[in-house]
Amino acid sequence: MQYGYARVSAADQNLGRQIEEFLKFGIEKQNIFSDKKSGKNFDRKEYTRLLKRLRAGDLLVIKSIDRLGRNYEAIIDEWKKITSHIGADILVLDMPLLDTRDKADNLVGKFISDIVLQLLSFVAENERQNIRARQAEGIALAKQRGISFGRPKKKYTAMFVEVTELYNEKKIVLSDALDLLDVKQSTFYYHLHKLHKDF
Question: What kind and span of H or E run contains 60?
Answer: strand 59-62
DSSP 8-class letter at 155: P
Nearest residue to 117 (alpha-carbon basis) of 177, 69, 149, 162: 69
Nearest residue to 23 (alpha-carbon basis) of 63, 73, 56: 63
CA-derived radius of gyration, the chain? 29
Question: What kind and span of H or E run contains 124?
Answer: helix 107-144
Burial of 138 (0-12, 13-18, 19+ CB in 10 A): exposed
Q: Across the strands, what pairs with 13?
A: none
Question: What kind and span of H or E run contains 114?
Answer: helix 107-144
Number of alpha carbons in the 13 Å side-chain half-sphere of residue 85: 9
Active site residues: 9
> With contact defined as beta carbons under 8 Å apart, do 101 and 69 qualify?
no
